[in-house]
Structure 1
Amino acid sequence: MRSRCHKRSGQALVEFGLVALVLYMLVGGAITFGIWIYAAGQIQQAANVGARELSQTPLPFDETFEDALDQKIVRQRIYDDRWLVIDLDELEEEIPDYNFFQDVVPRMPLLNQQLAVLYVLETFDHDNDDATPPKRLMRYPGALLNRSQGESDESGIEYPDYVADDYVVQIPFVVERKEEHNNGGGAERIRWVCVVEEIDTEELPDDDSGANPDPFSLTNESAIPADPLDPPESEPPKGVVALRVHYPAQSTWLSSYQDRGAFVSNGGDPNVAIDDAVESLNPEAMKGSLHDSKPLVLENALGESVYAGTYGGKYGLGIHGAMTSPELTGSAIGIRPYRRVLVSHAIFRREVFLPSTEATP
């Protein structure tokens, strides 16, 4: 009788081992895609709010979308990328018993308020100095860049001390991976996109097929040919708020593997995390510089090597410690998390116009 009980216990353990991996994948997938569905709805709401408010804001009729985002009234009421990064140490010093969603979010512009629920908590050594404590930031996901020093702010807007305006967040859009790294499973080629930008003629961030027609301005003539005898196929859009919001959805549970096609096993082909080999295809679009204090592998207080996390690293592409064996990755390094860039759009017709800011003769 006793032998039979031991036999059944061993059988149950083997059965659990067989189904545990599948169960883990199902639970991880359900949690991941549930969060992403919520995030997709949230950035769609943000796009709707931003486009609607911009359409009703009095701005010069010949203003471009990029110039509109720099207007003081827009940055105060609708969207300001400086509110994408909050310094929690400064916040705690100003409000010791703070509640982020009660004390900070209501002070944000409207579009930023919609994005605030998607912020992630990050701690990193900002100055490579062991004598100073690391920074604690609550920020929008993506790459955390040092804001360009040459970018002057003449708006006169006064920010709370906890707004970390020394930093800016941008999204790296992975176009492809280099074949020379792990047989196509590492060293991403990326294009930089902004969290909020104008919808243009490019279908995807990796498409250089055409210039931005700038539909925001009433003077848009980008689609009109030089020869008046050769009329355009269609009138270029004018006076339209065409707004796009990006969100880099990266899974804490699921890791990234190479796409080998349908019904082809890719269990031994992970996408390895090699920040030093990442190539930027449009560095001129960067609004800041990469942060040297954001390596993929960190050292904790015990002197142990730990991974920087789902949104860690200089490019914010993250790293997982799963499957870190030389047989899989070529070296004992981590692999990228499963990742998709979610995009939402909203289009509204502009309703209020001001005269041109340029002097007329």
Structure 2
Amino acid sequence: MRKAISPSTRSLRSRIGQAIVEFAVVAFILTFLLGAMLALGFLFFSANVVQQAADVGAMELSRHPYTPTGKFHDALTDSGLFTEAALVVPVGTNPESLPLINRMLFSVYIYDPDIDMVRYPGTLVTNPSNETTVVIPLVGFGNRDSTTGVETITEWRKVVEEVTPARASEGPYSMLSTSTGTLAPGMVALRINYPYQSAGLVAYVHTDADGNLLRPSETIGQDGVLNVPATTDDSAVTGAASATFPNGDTLAEAGYTLVNPAVNTAFGASAHRGQYGFGEMGAFATAVRP
């Protein structure tokens, strides 16, 4: 026995199906925009926190009574404004117990499930005093393989450092400094490095149809541009041993030793996981870089 369906019923079902398709398209776009807004919002928040910490740190260090011919990092340590050891602290640490610069940066610290500690983002290392701390790896443009996504570390940076001319061992802090760049001797030039990683966006490299690496600005208006996701593989990262700090010291020469914590399998991907803190995320059934 057949049952007749009126034209109005068919029209209603058609409209329902159309609405579902439209919702699926709009929901994807809205979800993407929400993720982008959250990621950019945290980016600007982090930038503001780091800038404020740098401003206050430089101002307070300039007020610290220290020999005018002393070194920047000696004065920074002696002032008690910052300590490398406080870049990695136990869960539940009261920020008010930390040195001033560490305290101001605490709102951008992350929880690291692999070591069950709260820490500043970056690469975990031990310093010459055998304290666990953090340094920052830099990957310059063109040092991420356009096919495999493998990164090459080109330079290391301390979280808090003096701004120095290229390859100079010191900046303008000392009145006797001869490597002041554009600044005058006796000035505090303090920089704070922060390795921002988005927990909601995936890193890509852009190539043309022949596999040649393209800068983002070069992709505008081009046809055939390929987006290659940067896959997670810290074991393939190169350059870590030969990369240097601005003064020319390698990681080993500066007294740092890499820490490679075991992955806590009870937690999923982390935006700063891995031996170098480059992070990992799950996307398209692949572990990719954030």
TM-score normalised to structure 2 length: 0.81
Q: Does 1:52 align with 2:59?
A: yes
Identify which of 292, 295, 299 aligns with 2:260: 292
Identify which of 263, 267, 271 aligns with 1:310: 271
Partner of 2:231: 272
Partner of 1:20: 27
Distance 1:68 1:44 in 2: 20
Contact kept in structure 1, 2:148 and 2:231, CA below 8 Å: no
Q: Deviations over 1:259-313 (max 9, x none)?
A: 4332346564111222112122227136532223245xx533xxxxx64311111
Q: Does 1:117 align with 2:82?
A: no
Partner of 2:95: 105
Offset, 1:45: 0.7
The 1:44/1:311 distance shift into structure 2, 3 A limit, reads same
Distance 1:11 1:121 in 2: 44
The structure whose residues are more often strand, as a share, is 1
Q: Does 1:86 align with 2:93?
A: no
The alignment of Structure 1 onto Structure 2 pairs a total of residues equal to 262
Contact kept in structure 1, 2:172 and 2:179, CA below 8 Å: no
Percent identity (aligned): 31
Distance 1:48 1:122 in 2: 28
Offset, 1:188: 3.2
Distance 1:47 1:236 in 2: 17
Letter in 2 for 1:252: A
Offset, 1:182: 5.2
Q: Does 1:319 align with 2:280?
A: yes
Contact kept in structure 1, 2:71 and 2:170, CA below 8 Å: no
Q: Deviations over 1:120-160 (max 9, x none)?
A: 11111xxxxxxxxxx42111111122x13xx24xxxxxxxx
Classify the secondary structure of the residue corresponding to 1:86: strand
Offset, 1:38: 1.2
Contact kept in structure 2, 1:182 and 1:272, CA below 8 Å: no
Distance 1:288 1:237 in 2: 31
Letter in 1 for 2:273: G
Distance 2:24 2:112 in 1: 34
Distance 1:314 1:288 in 2: 14
Offset, 1:56: 0.5
Q: Does 1:171 align with 2:136?
A: yes
Offset, 1:65: 0.8
The 1:34/1:255 distance shift into structure 2, 3 A limit, reads same
Greater RCO (CA < 8 Å, at least 6 residues apart): 1
Offset, 1:245: 0.7
For the aligned residue pairs, the C-alpha RMSD in angstroms reads 2.5
Identify which of 69, 77, 80 aligns with 1:70: 77
Letter in 1 for 2:84: D
Classify the secondary structure of the residue corresponding to 1:219: coil
